[in-house]
Amino acid sequence: MEKASKIFVAGANGMVGSAIVRELQKNGYENLLLPNSKALDLRNQEAVAAFFEKNKPEYVFLAAAKVGGIYANNTYPAEFLYDNMMIQNNVIHHAYLNNVKKLLFLGSSCIYPKFAQQPINENSLLTDTLEPTNEAYAIAKISGVEMCKFYKKQYGCQFISAMPTNLYGINDNFNIENSHVLPALLRKFVEAKNKNEKNVTVWGTGTPLREFLYVDDLAEACLFLMLHYNEESTINVGTGVEISIKELAETIKEKVGFKGELVFDTTKPDGTPRKLLDVSKINNLGWKHKIDLNDGIEKTIEWLHQTNFSSFK
């Protein structure tokens, strides 16, 4: 991928896409195609076909997706399945039709079985049942992984897939109803502190273990993989470090400066009990995360202050 190569970042306005754009620009890639969802609805096959035919991108980072936490996945499974399959089917197929040199598809660690052996190796894919609360999203993402694999097998396309762990950071979604656990907790603690509330409620028991990757680290990994990875099989992207939801809540509480109590609502679902990725494959290739969880949370809080908490609105 040359500095002047024409690069399409699908989902450029989202948390992941915007981080990829920052990483590309930092490394001297300026010939970027960055349409927003209003300019290009990736669910619309005709629109995607016209975009590829007109612009002829050489490389594609497929970071566009409908995403959300347990509540959103559980409440809108049909939308999560339909929207994500339409987005990835359209982009991957028209990348093939227009001779894109290389495409990176971003999946999610939720594609792995609920009770996969820990840490989760890439070979665990499709070996057991999924976590029911995000099954629709996982099925969509699995189909994207398999689509890249089979287009590579049948057509010789250089289409690769990466599976990031739980992400957070700049431009995250802080909507209480459909955000992931870390941004949801950040919002709860910030608002509780501002309103002098006595406690903050955390969904579930607090016992599940999760791994978190700062989004700028993922963006660096995406560029690394686009330049250095060509295998048919997917590759995990994470930190290899896990923390309980209770510990996460306590950490955010301390960083925000909230003085009240934690209350765990055990009537709410925990989701998968443990989800730690085996990142030995990408580490052995030469990439490793740089930003630990404490620093990442502080960076996110600092960004929220700079945006005057407008992301909460």
Residue 168: count of CB within 10 angstroms of its CB: 23
Contacts of the segment 174-181: beta carbons below 8 A, 24+ positions apart: 174/311, 174/312, 177/71, 177/72, 178/68, 178/69, 178/71, 178/72, 179/68, 179/69, 179/72, 180/67, 180/68, 180/69, 181/69, 181/70, 181/210, 181/245, 181/248
Least reliable range by pLDDT among 194-203, 254-263, 267-276: 267-276
For range 138-151, the mean pLDDT:
97
* Tokens 């980072």 sit on residue: 61
11 marked as part of a ligand binding site: yes
Residues 6+ apart with CB under 8 A from 206: 244, 245, 246, 249, 262, 264
Q: Is the pLDDT of residue 231 over 90?
A: yes
Task: Say if residue 70's pLDDT is above 80.
Answer: no
pLDDT band, very low/low/confident/very high, at 14 (cuts 50, 70, 90):
very high
pLDDT of 179 > 90? The answer is no
Tens digit of each residue's pLDDT (9 = 90 or more) over 26-69: 999 999 999 999 999 999 999 999 999 999 999 999 999 988 77
pLDDT value of position 140 = 97
17 marked ligand binding residue: yes
Q: What span, in angstroms and rounded, lies between the C-alpha atoms of 101 and 135?
A: 32
**Cis link prior to 77 (omega < 30° from 0)?**
no
Residue 69 is assigned to a ligand binding site: no
pLDDT tens digit sequence for 153-164: 999 999 999 999
| AA identity, residue 60 | V
The predicted pLDDT at position 75 comes to 87
State what percent of residues in the chain have pLDDT above 90: 86
Question: Which secondary-structure segment (H or E) carries 263?
Answer: strand 261-265
Under DSSP, the state recorded for 116 is P
**What is the pLDDT, as a whole number, of residue 246?**
97
Q: Which ranges of 10-76 would DSSP assign to H, the alpha helix?
A: 15-26, 45-55, 70-75
Residues 292-312: what's their mean pLDDT? Answer: 92
Q: φ, ψ for residue 186 (rounded to 5)?
A: -60, -45
Q: Give burial (CB, 10 Å; 0-12/13-18/19+) of 303.
A: middle
177 pLDDT exceeds 80?
no
Question: Is 141 labelled a binding residue?
Answer: yes
Domain residue extents for the chain: 7-172+212-239+277-291
Q: Is 267 exposed, middle or buried (0-12, 13-18, 19+ CB in 10 A)?
A: exposed
Please give the CATH number for the structural domain made up of 7-172+212-239+277-291. 3.40.50.720
pLDDT at residue number 193? 94
Question: Binding residue per annotation — 163?
Answer: no
Q: Output the six-digit token pair for 276.
A: 């730690």
| 103 assigned ligand-binding residue | no
In the annotation, is 137 catalytic? yes
Residue 266: strand pairing partners: none
pTM: 0.94
Residue 12 labeled ligand binder: yes
Which residue in 96, 112, 137, 151 is the catalytic one?
Answer: 137
